[in-house]
Amino acid sequence: MTFRALVVEKTGPSEVSAAVQALSEDQLPDGNVTVAVQYSTVNYKDGLCMRADGGLVRTYPHVPGIDFAGTVESSSDPRYKPGDQVVLTGWRVGETHWGGYAEKARVNADWLVPLPEGLTTRQAMAIGTAGFAAMLAVLALEDHGLKPDQGEVLVTGAAGGVGSIATAVLSQLGYDVAAVTGRPGAADYLKSLGATRIVARQEIDTVSKKPLESETWAGCVDAVGGEMLARVLGQLKRGGSVAAVGLAGGAKVPANVIPFLLRGVNLLGIDSVMQPYERRVTAWKRLATDLPLEKLNAMIQQANLAVVPSLGAQILAGQVKGRIVVDVN
Ligand code: NDP
């Protein structure tokens, strides 16, 4: 019995190539749960995992795909039985362990969560790591006291995956959402997700000479990092927090400490990869209740395994709008 998978092979000292191949089950990595995968997705990190210089994949041949959702086929772990629907994000699956761009995956039961009630496997992958991280960011802001009556919340990289889900969730929770985008054509899309203000990327993507600007944002979900994150720190209201999720605009943050010292702002790190089980379940439950499904549907572009490599290149170039769902079968 064989199954289809997108396999990345090393073809030169600094070259890889990806193609759909037939694999047999005995080629799957170790693990105590085998899952018939239905859907996966394309995140920024998946783009990196399909590049020779992405820095995340250590051994080849490799099956990427950092997320998947599907049905348990066999399990030697008492928590899961055949027929259970499950979701996987994180744990370096798709990076150091074969991932979700395949009809089958074998993983450690500790890495799975049951499919949240109210979501299909397709919807779970429309959310994926990007949406899960966006929800963790919202939870972190709430834990630090953010409430809708405190003022506008900024979302950077808003038309991307993290940004789209953060925008829709925050709007549903009653926040006024200011969405930063470099794509003027995405304004209507962002408004349809609930953004109440569109901020042009160039207004905010360079550091200011002044460490403090006017107090503008009650909080921020930041998918961009770099100079934009440094700039946002100086625009936060007193006691406000920014949840740092991503680095689409750069990893180096030329920040000033003054906003921390004079306004008591907070920089909250978001790591979706190693979250404990309870926090995962909480975040997924909140996604099932706080993300309007009609808005999620409006974000989705569907793809198959064969086109995933080109979508990986597009997401790294900031050209993907919303979320991609990959039907692996
Ligand atoms: P996307 O590519 O879907 O979104 C990123 C968005 O950032 C783009 O759509 C674009 O939005 C904006 N952007 C791109 N390049 C630049 C730039 N040079 N300057 C300013 N803005 C830019 O990626 P994801 O949403 O999937 O991921 C976003 C980031 O979050 C990535 O860095 C990813 O690695 C990280 N991430 C981190 C996680 C964690 O656990 N911490 C989990 C998931 C993702 P627009 O066109 O609207 O300007």
The mean pLDDT value of the chain amounts to 97
Helix, strand, coil in percent for the chain, rounding step 5:
35, 30, 35
Does 107 share its domain with 227? no
Mean pLDDT, rounded, for 9-14: 93
Asked if 203 and 251 sit in the same domain, the reply is yes
Range of the domain at 55: 2-115+296-327
Q: Which amino acid is at 209?
A: K
Cα 210 to Cα 204: distance, rounded to the nearest angstrom: 13
In a domain, 283, yes or no: no
Instruction: List the residue whose alpha carbon is closest to atom 16 of ligand 1.
Output: 249
Q: How many CB atoms lie within 10 A of CB 233?
A: 28
138 and 256 together in one domain: yes
Which residue type is seen at 19? A
What is the per-residue pLDDT across 212-225, written as a single tens digit (0 to 9) for each? Answer: 999 999 999 999 99
285-297 per-position pLDDT tens digit: 999 999 999 999 9
Do 138 and 246 fall into the same domain? yes
DSSP annotation of 93: B
ipTM of the complex: 0.99
User: What lines the ligand 1 site, CB under 6 Å?
Assistant: 43-45, 129-130, 133, 157-163, 181-183, 186, 201, 205, 223-224, 228, 245-249, 270-273, 315, 318, 320
Structure confidence at residue 1 as a pLDDT band (50, 70, 90): confident
Domain total in the chain: 2
In DSSP terms, which residues pair with 179 in a beta bridge?
155, 198
What is the distance between the alpha carbons of residues 27 and 6, in angstroms, rounded to a whole number?
A: 13
